[in-house]
Structure 1
Amino acid sequence: MEVAEHYRIPHSQLLSWPKSDRDKAIWLHVRKRATCQGCGTRTEEWDPAQGGRRGAYLATESTCPGCQQLAARQDWLSKQHGQHLPAGLKVHLKPNPQPRG
């Protein structure tokens, strides 16, 4: 039922899919449920008893220029409006119309 709900279709429609399509949808659902939403890894990747290893990943840092731009704009807005930003105010990115250079 959760798979049908994810695709926003009736369960009977999911059952009408070819077996290979149903299997793929179910496999993807199971995999997503087993994946940590915080770090994107699965427990078995870290567990030697399940074929994984303790040092499966290394923590590193990266910087997203888009996220930097969003944070800078949010900081600016906070200073302009104080702690009370207007309800529904969203900060988003849009392409810069100026030519590259």
Structure 2
Amino acid sequence: MCPQCNTRYDDWDHGGEGEEDLYAVTVQRCVGCQVIADKQDELARDKGIDNHGVKVALIPASAAAAIEAHREATRRRRNDEDDD
């Protein structure tokens, strides 16, 4: 079995007459995968970041907003402590 496409060699007719392949090719665009690939390209191109080992993931917008609010609160608290 092919580790990449998970088909077996014998699943294909190999040009035999009248035999249909067991699989058909379909093309599908995943917007999430496209956004991830775009971000990876942006990091490499605009920010000069080496992408080896860098994972770009999608999280719910509400979770991203909560993380940013927590970071901002932490920044404000640190600034207040520095002022004292």
In the superposition, the TM-score normalised over structure 1's length comes to 0.45
Q: Determine the structure 2 residue equivalent to 1:69.
A: 35
Unaligned runs of 5+ in 2: 64-84
CA distance in 1, matches of 2:51, 2:37: 17
Q: Does 2:17 match 1:59? A: no
For residues 45-82 of structure 1, the C-alpha deviation after alignment (integer angstroms, 9 at most, x for no partner) is: 2259xxxx542212120111221111011111112233
Aligned to 1:66, the other structure's residue is in SS state helix
Q: CA RMSD in A?
A: 2.7
Q: Does 2:43 match 1:80? A: no
Unaligned runs of 5+ in 1: 1-34
Q: Tell which has more relative contact order, 1 or 2 (C-alpha 8 A, sep 6+).
A: 2
Aligned-residue sequence identity (percent) comes to 37
5 Å matches for 1:25-64? Answer: 35-47=1-13, 53-64=19-30
In the superposition, the TM-score normalised over structure 2's length comes to 0.52
Larger radius of gyration between Structure 1 and Structure 2? 2
Number of residue pairs the alignment of both structures matches: 59
